[in-house]
Structure 1
Amino acid sequence: MRKILVISLFTLSFGILSAQSPIDSLKDVAMSVEGEQKVKALNELFRAYQEADPVTALGYTREALNLATEIGDKKGMAASYNNLGVSYRQQGAIDKALEYYINSLKIYEELDNKEGIATLKNNIANIYSIKKDFGLAVSYLEQSYALFTQLQDKKKIVGSMNNLGNLNSDLQLFEKAMRYYSEAYQLSQQEGMKFADPLTNLGNIYFKQGNYQRAVEFYNKALDIEKENNNKLGMLSILTNIGATYTKAQMPKPALEYLKEAEKLAEELQAFSYLPNILRSHADILYQQGKSKEAYETILKYDSLREKIYGEESTKKIAQMELVLTFAEKERELQLLQKEGKIQTLELRNTRLFIVMIILGGLMLIGGFNLYFMSNKKKLL
């Protein structure tokens, strides 16, 4: 599986982070600030949890979106929409991801926020690339790259170069793709960034070319970086790739070891979009071992799971997670109202009284209509 740069927004420096872990400090910030600062903290918590715990990350950015909408924080809304797009893309629901990305882009264009515009055009380009609409993918990615260059954002320039390499790889322009990946990795090294994606993608090209030894070499270098970064999604992608590489090289023992580790991690992260590739490699191993029946049954599981993940099931799954989060939010709102005391109680009583009066008035109108109708009916008889 290739690696793309999907950008989340709001990398913050609050100036009050202590000796606690960064995540604990961010939680303290989110509890202690209000308004736009709270939105920023919640979106930064999304970024902190995005790769290690995607479900928790989704909860934070949902909370950020609700608060940003309530207070009219457009920049916060745009960042939250982008982050929701990231969550959907990770689950394989790419059409829903695209919808959120477009909503975010519209807001950033209203705000004339060049960083936001560049970020969203990058992420939209990734979706079109996945959908094999390379014309739109190239257009959006070139616009994004130009804006990041104008802003002199080295980290995101590295990501854009990596994604340009992906596009050229999709178009079978492997030499050009490898130049982009190499330049991206060299720039990341110069800037002191631990960025594994270009190495993973170089491994992918060697894999496509059948040079499995070189592919594994680059994958292992990338895996070391992702372990150092504690990027579990990155580790999952590379473990899957190494398993597939050993499968193609007809080395079933190491292949199964990596695939089992990848499957366990996919379940832990609920990153189910990785499971079809793992199953496909399992099927290939079974076929190599002469177990044709088991291989066929595994392929059927692969087809079924792929349909569920890339069809409606993925969107339903996230919708269910969002529903649980919504109920939790409503419960917190109810608890807050209960704490606020007599004013809310009085307002609730007045509301109930108003509703009762409307119902009584309606019953009286219905009663009057019935009397009039019965009276006219008797005259007709």
Structure 2
Amino acid sequence: MRNFALLLILQFQLNTIGQNIDSLKLALNNAKHDSTKCLILKSLYYAESDNKVKMELTKERLQIAELNLAKNNNTDHNFFLKQKGACFNQFGLIYKEQGDISKALNYHHKSLKVSEEIGNKIGISISLNNIGTVYFMQGDIPKALDYYHKSLKMHELIMDKIGIAGSLNNIGNIYKDQGDHSKAIEYYQKSLIFMEEIGEKSGVAICLNNIGGVYYSNRDTSNAMVYFQRSLKIREEVGNKHELAASLNNIGILYKRQGENIKALEYFHKSLKIQEQIGDKNGIASSLHNIGNIYYSQGNLKDGLTYANKSMRLAMELGFPKNIQNSSELLKSIFRKQNKYKEALQMYELEIKMRDSINSESTRKASIKNQLKYEYEKQAAADSVAHAKESEVKNAEIAKQTAEIKAKKNQQYALFGGLGLVLIFAGVMFNRFKVTQKQKGIIESQKLEVESQKKIVEEKQKEVLDSIHYARRIQMAQIPSEKRVESTLNRLRN
């Protein structure tokens, strides 16, 4: 049986090591248990930025998990099932970045299934969120919102703050794309509070970046730059190349709006270089579009068209409506400048189609419906809790009253019983008193009789004694004394 206490300590140490890949690889080589290896491979995955390396690490982790599951080791069975579900999720994330949306969606659903089988609520909530993100990128906003709200509900159920923050941020992204900036800011700010509270630096950077994006959309370039720079600083500290490239791209967009094209181009190329290193196709498509846009604004239609076409090909390959919309809008403008009106019209139609797929009336209604549903379910849950508490209080009061009534009845029964016992006792005592009195009377009578008899006896004894004494006196009176007799005899002789 594995020592899970040691595994928890190891996990803490791995987090402390952070992105020291060499240390993690050394720890992996020295690891004796498969469960330990899985945790190290997980940390290596997050430390790496190259999707090819991430893919190999995830394959190795999945292989370890499946080999152990085949052993039917009941002790570690759920642990390795969780590893399997996590691997499916990671495959989904990698395929999403590579632009293979169908595979990404397939793996996220496979991960969801595994998590549901073992009741892994954290795994379920993560998969729901990832599925929502794929639908969002595909422009299927109603489905995206549905999954985001399901994920948010699950995160709230298990009080997973980082999960709650992530879901809130993703919902904010949808409102931003729909042009509802106040709602977007509301969700981003809520997400930021959670991220700062738990000290999740990457999450804080994402929220700051997104808030900056809203200010940019509102043409508040001053605040937008403040938030973008704050986000960039944190991402440089963390070292997440994917997010770092996104920040560089956003600052480049801001410089372009301010008319500083040279600075903007510098940031776009920095971003593109990183994205090509890590294989971030979605990011590459964005950077290509932004570079093409700079060349277009400078009047360099040739280079502008080259980059715009590259961006469009990659956007179509990915199938992401937002990227397609941006590329078609740029190509429309270039074709107009080149007097290619037919091509310009085609790009304009494609631009409108993509824009409407993201920001359609049905999408707005779906957003409102999901928001109301979420708020209703949350309120219903709160009401049910309140009702339960109220019922609990009422039941407690009823129980208290019942107990009091019962206690009073018991007291009455005890009182009556006590009185009964007292009466019985009194009766017994009275009866005993009567008997005692009777006996006392008899005894007194007997005593009197005895005393009377005693007195009689004493009287008789006295009488006897008196009679004896009297007889003695009589005797003494009738019998003369010797002297008298002698005197009498002497007198007679003479």
Query: What band does the TM-score fall into relative to the shorter chain?
Result: 0.7 to 0.9
> How far is 1:13 from its partner?
7.8
- 2:62–2:84 CA contact under 8 A, matched in 1: no
- Which residue in 2 is equivalent to 1:98? 145
Residue pairs, 1:230-309, within 5 angstroms:
230-307=279-356
Q: Report the Cα offset of residue 104 of structure 1.
A: 0.3
Q: Which residue of 1 aligns with 2:84?
A: 38
Moved more, 35-44 or 236-245: 35-44
Counterpart for residue 181 of structure 2: 134
Determine helix, strand or coil for the equivalent of 1:51.
helix
Amino acid at match of 1:49: Y
SS of 2:351's equivalent?
Answer: helix
Amino acid at match of 2:173: N
Summarize the Cα distance change of 1:160–1:107 in structure 2 as closer, same or farther, 3 Å threshold: same
The Cα shift of 1:289 comes to 1.6
Instruction: Note the C-alpha offset of 1:267.
Output: 3.3
Q: 8 Å contact 1:30–1:41 — kept in the other structure?
A: no
Q: Per the alignment, do residues 210 and 13 of structure 1 end up closer, same or farther by CA in structure 2, a change over 3 Å counting?
A: farther
Supply the AA of the counterpart residue of 1:284.
Answer: S
Residue 57 of structure 1, aligned match among 90, 93, 104:
104
Q: Give the distance between the partners of 2:354 and 2:221, measured in 1 at CA.
A: 31
Match of 1:165 in 2: 212
Cα distance, 1:114 vs structure 2: 0.9
Task: Give how far 1:174 is off.
Answer: 0.9
Deviations 1:318-365 (A, max 9, x none): xxxxxxxxxxxxxxxxxxxxxxxxxxxxxxxxxxxxxxxxxxxxxxxx
**Deviation for aligned residue 1:119:** 1.2
The alpha-carbon distance between structure 1 residues 264 and 161, as it changes in their structure 2 partners (threshold 3 A), is same
Moved more, 83-92 or 47-56: 47-56
In the alignment, is residue 228 of structure 1 matched against residue 277 of structure 2? yes
Deviations 1:81-104 (A, max 9, x none): 100111011112223211111100
How far the C-alpha of 1:248 sits from its partner, in A, is 2.6
Q: Which runs of 5+ in 1 are unaligned?
A: 1-11, 315-381
Deviation per residue, 1:42-61 (Å, 9 max, x gap): 11222232201332111110
Write the distance in 1 (CA, Å) between the matches of 2:360 and 2:138: 11
In structure 1, the residue corresponding to 2:38 is in which secondary structure?
coil
Residue 178 of structure 2 contacts residue 358 of structure 2 at CA under 8 Å; is this kept in 1? no
Preserved CA contact (<8 Å) 2:321 2:357: no
> Who is 1:207 aligned against?
256
Inter-CA distance 44–291: structure 2 relative to 1 (3 Å threshold): closer
Spell out, residue by residue over 1:163-210, the C-alpha distance to the aligned partner (whole angstroms, 9 max, x if none).
Answer: 121122122221111011112112222233321112111111222334
Moved more, 79-88 or 293-302: 293-302
Cα RMSD after superposing both structures: 2.7
Contact 1:148 1:156 (C-alpha < 8 Å) held by counterparts:
yes
Unaligned runs of 5+ in 2: 1-35, 45-52, 70-79, 364-494
Partner amino acid, structure 2, of 1:35 = L
TM-score of the pair, normalised by structure 1: 0.72
Q: Are the equivalent residues in 1 in contact too, given 2:61–2:83 (CA < 8 A)?
A: no
291 and 263 in structure 1: CA distance in 2 versus 1, 3 angstrom threshold: closer
Q: Does 1:21 align with 2:56?
A: yes
Higher Rg: 2
Identify which range, 289-298 or 211-220, moves more after superposition: 289-298
In structure 2, what is the equivalent of residue 156 of structure 1? 203
Shift of 1:106: 0.3
SS of the equivalent of 1:99 reads helix
CA offset digits 1:1-31 (Å, max 9, x no partner): xxxxxxxxxxx98246499922432442464
Partners in 1 of 2:351 and 2:163 — Cα distance?
38
TM-score normalised per structure 2 = 0.57
CA contact (8 A) 2:65 2:81 kept: no
Partner of residue 318, structure 1: none
What is the rounded CA distance, in whole Å, between the counterparts of 1:193 and 1:298 in structure 2? 35
Aligned to 1:74: 121
Is residue 2:245 matched to residue 1:196? yes
Question: Is this contact kept in 1: 2:38–2:83, CA < 8 A?
Answer: no
Q: Is 1:23–1:48's contact at 8 Å kept on the other side of the alignment?
A: no
Q: How many residue pairs were aligned?
A: 303
The AA in structure 2 aligned to 1:119 is G
**Partner amino acid for 2:56?**
S
Q: Which amino acid letter does the alignment assign opposite residue 108 of structure 1?
A: H
Structure with the bigger RCO (C-alpha within 8 Å, sep 6+) is 1
Query: Partner letter of residue 91 of structure 2?
Result: L
Q: Which residue of structure 1 aligns with residue 429 of structure 2?
A: none
Asked whether the 8 Å contact 1:29–1:38 carries over to 2, the reply is: no
CA distances 1:114-153 after superposition (whole Å, capped 9, x unpaired): 1111111111111111122222222221121111111111
Aligned to 1:320: none
The 2-side partners of 1:281 and 1:288 are apart by: 11
The answer to whether the 8 Å contact 2:139/2:357 transfers is no
More displaced 10-residue stretch of structure 1: 284-293 or 177-186: 284-293
Q: Is the 8 A contact 1:250 1:288 kept in 2?
A: no
